[in-house]
Amino acid sequence: MSNYISHICPACNTVFNEKDDIVVCPVCGTPHHRHCYNDLGHCVFEEKHDDGFQWEAGPSAVPGDGSIVAVGNAVCSHCGAENNAGDNYCCRCGRSLLPNNTSDGSHGSGYNTGNNSESSFNYGGFAPNDEIAGHKISELAAYVGPSSHYYIPRFLRFNSIPLLPGFSVSAFFFGPFYFFYRKLYSLGMIQIILWAANFIPSLLLASRQIVSSAQLYGLTIIRTINFDYDLVFNISSVLSLVLLSCRIVMSMFAVKSYYVHVIRSVSQIKMKYSPTAEPQRFISELYSSGGVDKKHTIMLLIAAAAVIILSSFGLIYYMTGTLG
């Protein structure tokens, strides 16, 4: 959503920054803060959707010098409606009141150019009404949320070539954190279980390294852990190989798995809320059910770090009676 940075959220009238979670109305393309959209339950320009309103990006509210552009005229140049001083969008037609906004608000189909490229950025450059597996691109983009411009073109390829894999570098390097971030919890849990299974043998092997390090640094070993080193080493090696293989395979099909997840989830939401009978509830459910899960991803990261650190220091203290 970097293309919306320095533009203004019409719901709260504040400038978007790089840390904001931005969602785009799949009907008219208007950007909102996710919390603004969820609080409203619909697009701020909902009443204009039946008239074919489409949002157009005006000039950035924060130019290169960092100053805020002032709105010089409260009368909309498009429809003539009077607006309150300081408003950035017309209360009648939703057009930008920022100076030098000459857009006619029209949206083409397929790839867009000029100012339209900004509002089509969320759709990977494709028309929002184009379909993938029976769903509009705008609906899939609303569910995907961040990085939808990356996923939409790949979803199109999967729809054309069902057996095509979709490798993800992020899934390979970040493992379960990637899958939790994208709400693919079951795949993330598989890697967590394998990691946990290998953690105890690895901890036992680390105890031998502590003995060697204690002799090097003159520490006294007060307790030792007796185990069959060769057996534990072989078990750890096998589990490590299984975990690596699992990560490679999951990474190869990570994007394809996410595609299947998105299509299935959007289909289930459509069964619950009809896009034609309950369009606003349907769109709101796409945004609230989709997107990414930052909360549980951060919690998982903290938990993993805590387990590793506490276990390591606990083992050192158990064996030497000191933390070094």
Does the residue 82 lie in any domain?
A: no
Kindly tell me the burial class for residue 82, based on how many C-beta atoms sit within 10 Å of its own C-beta (0-12, 13-18, 19 or more). Answer: exposed
Q: Which tokens in the block code for residue 290?
A: 């989709």
Q: Is the pLDDT of residue 324 over 60?
A: no
Beta carbons within 8 Å of 20's beta carbon, 6+ residues apart: 1, 5, 9, 33
Does the residue 223 lie in any domain?
A: yes
Distance of CA 39 to CAs 32, 42, 176, 272, 287, Å? 11, 8, 31, 21, 12
How many domains is the chain partitioned into structurally? Answer: 1
Residue 229's domain comprises 185-250+299-320
Q: Which of 303, 51, 87, 75 is nearest to 195 (CA)?
A: 303
The helix-helix angle for 137-144 and 279-289 (nearest 10°) equals 40
Q: Which tokens in the block code for residue 233?
A: 């080493």
pLDDT tens digit string along 195-242?
Answer: 999 999 999 998 888 888 877 777 788 788 888 999 999 999 999 999
Does the residue 270 lie in any domain?
A: no
The helix-helix angle for 294-320 and 185-217 (nearest 10°) equals 30
**How many CA atoms within 13 Å lie on the side-chain side of 252?**
9
pLDDT tens digit string along 93-141?
Answer: 445 555 444 333 333 333 333 334 334 456 777 778 889 999 998 899 8
Q: Which tokens in the block code for residue 321?
A: 């009676």
Mean pLDDT of the chain: 79
Does the residue 219 lie in any domain?
A: yes
Question: What Rg do the C-alpha atoms of the chain give, in angstroms?
Answer: 26
- Strand pairing class (31-33; 131-132): unpaired
> How far apart are the C-alpha atoms of 204 and 112, rounded to whole Å?
59
Does the residue 46 lie in any domain?
A: no
